[in-house]
Amino acid sequence: MQRRTFLCTLGVSCLSLCVPQITFAASKALVVYFSKTGEQYGVGVISKGNTAIVAEMIAKKTSADLSEITRVDDTYPKTYQALCDVAKDELTKKVRPKYSMSITDLSGYQTIFIGAPVWWGDWPMVMYSFFEQANLAGKMLIPFCTHEGSGLSEFDKKLAKACPKSRVGQGLAIVGRDAQKHSAKVDTALDGWLKKLAAQGVVF
Amino acid sequence: MRMIIQVMLVGSLLALMAYARLGEEVHEILGTSMLLFMFVHLWHNKTCLANIFHGKSPRARIFHSICALLLILILCLQGISGIVVSKHLFAFMQIPGSAFARAIHLCLAYWCFVLIAIHMGLKATRFIKLLTTYFRERMYLVILIYLSIAFYGFLVFTRSDILDYMLLNKAFMSYNSDEPMIVFFLEHIALGIFFITFGMIINKMSKYLSSK
Ligand SMILES: Cc1cc2nc3c(=O)[nH]c(=O)nc-3n(C[C@H](O)[C@H](O)[C@H](O)COP(=O)(O)O)c2cc1C
């Protein structure tokens, strides 16, 4: 009897030792995103960007920190047509615009969700500035995008190429207007995706 | 020489449709060469072109003429919009209006595909005659195979977004497709054959109408 109690106590104390360690190991994830307000395709003039909406939902679901990437001297036009010209020009010249973000120390994050709109079938150039200049080595990067028909547009492959020292997880594409108008649909898509990522061993 | 250019035209059209797979540089080079092929093709058929509005029984040829003129127009527009959206060959020109040009280019691409198939169907009479003399009694087999491919093309059409692109409901190209390249080409050939049938039917009908 006494031996059994002893074993039980030993078991419980072992467990209690383990539990805080598990919570400790599961460090917080970070959601980093770039998104534009103003006039966007198919949704008119918006006050919150499509990608911003999705990023916030991911951060909420995973209790992750959230940080927006902005362009220093944001000279992007506010109309869709003009923005397309500027974005294409940046893309063909492979410009690396200066970026800024509220969280600069990324050392504490093992998993980083990275999202942006699809611009001309690619990441906006400012995202490449982030990929190339931030220290992302050894981290698990999960790409996501909003788009109007192009899908993920190989964001995963392009991210892996830009950050060869990081691991890249399975990405997700959300239709931009769904983010504005059909949040229930986006919600289900996110749940399914996060579940899959968790099953693949991604920690968040 | 005529035949070679015709085959090149069809070949480059198919390859151009595979934009997302073959990459942008290849697409731009192919697009430019297809435009050049078109001019050679027009040169080969200059007498036909000169007689578009006169000559014998213009009524029977009215669909041929409309289709050909539309194609010339659309292909030229594809050239212009292509130059505006170019990210490689012509990017240095930095022409504004890229958003509009992109929507037009994508929409007209599918119109172009359909019209070229109809154009081929309209002109297929000689080819059909050739087949009939070659296969004679077994012609029913050829027709059967042809119809099944055309039907498959119809199925491809119904499950694709082509109509959405043609009606400007979808303005961005999808880059995500996991089917192998060979399947893509075979499906687009079937799709083409489906639309070629329309050309053949129109041709028969217009002949019938003008003979009355
Ligand atoms: C400059 C520019 C280029 C775009 N290019 C594409 C594209 O190639 N494919 C696509 O599906 N959508 C494209 N879009 C649509 C955006 O991806 C879509 O509207 C997105 O949801 C915008 O997100 P945001 O509000 O977070 O910036 C483009 C939009 C802009 C402004």
Q: What is the CATH number of the domain that holds A109?
A: 3.40.50.360
Say yes or no to pLDDT of B30 above 60: yes
Pocket-testing residue among A33, A79, A84, A147, ligand 1, by greatest number of atoms within 8 A of Cβ = A147
The pLDDT-based confidence of B54 (bands split at 50, 70, 90) is confident
Rounded to the nearest angstrom, the gap between the alpha carbon of residue B95 and the centroid of all alpha carbons in its chain is: 27
Q: What is the rounded CA–CA span in Å between residue A155 and residue A123?
A: 7
Considering only CB atoms, A91 lies closest to which of B87, B96, B174, namely: B87
Residues 124-143 of A with CB under 8 A from B: none
Residues B70-82: pLDDT tens digits?
999 999 999 999 9
Residue A74 at interface with chain B, using a CB cutoff of 8 Å: no
Identify the contact set of chain B against chain A, taking CB-CB distances under 8 A. 85, 87-88, 91, 94, 96-100, 102, 170-176
- Tokens 């050939």 found at: B189
pLDDT of residue A3: 61
Let me know if residue A50 belongs to a domain. yes
Closest CA to A174 of A195, A196, A155: A155
Dump the DSSP string for B144-202. HHHHHHHHHHHHHHHHSSHHHHHTTS--S------S-HHHHHHHHHHHHHHHHHHHHHH
Tell me phi and psi for residue B141, to 5 degrees: -65, -45
Atom of ligand 1 nearest to the CA of A176: 21
Predicted model pTM: 0.88
Would you state the pLDDT for residue A60? 97
Query: Which neighbouring-strand residues pair with A65?
Result: A30
* Percent of chain A that is helix, strand, coil (3-state, to 5): 45, 20, 35
In a domain, A12, yes or no: no
Contacts of A153 in chain B (CB under 8 A): 175-176
Rounded distance from Cα B126 to ligand 1 centre (Å): 48
Q: What is the pLDDT of residues B93-123, one digit of tens each?
A: 999 999 999 999 999 999 999 999 999 999 9
Which residue stretches of chain A have pLDDT < 70?
A: 1-26
Pick the closest to residue A85 from B103, B90, B81, B100 (CA basis).
B100
Digit-coded pLDDT (tens) for B150-180 = 999 999 999 998 999 999 998 898 886 778 9
**Percentage of the residues of chain B whose pLDDT score is greater than 90:** 77
Helix then strand count (H, E) for chain B reads 10, 0
Does residue A4 belong to any structural domain of this protein?
A: no
Identify whether A13 is part of a domain. no
Residue-level pLDDT at A24:
43
Q: What domain range includes position A141? A: 25-197
Q: How many domains does chain A have?
A: 1
State the CB neighbour count (10 A cutoff) for residue B151.
14
Instruction: Report if residue A137 sits inside a domain.
Output: yes
Residues with CB under 6 A from ligand 1: A 35-36, 40-41, 49-52, 80, 83-84, 87, 117-121, 146-150, 176; B 172
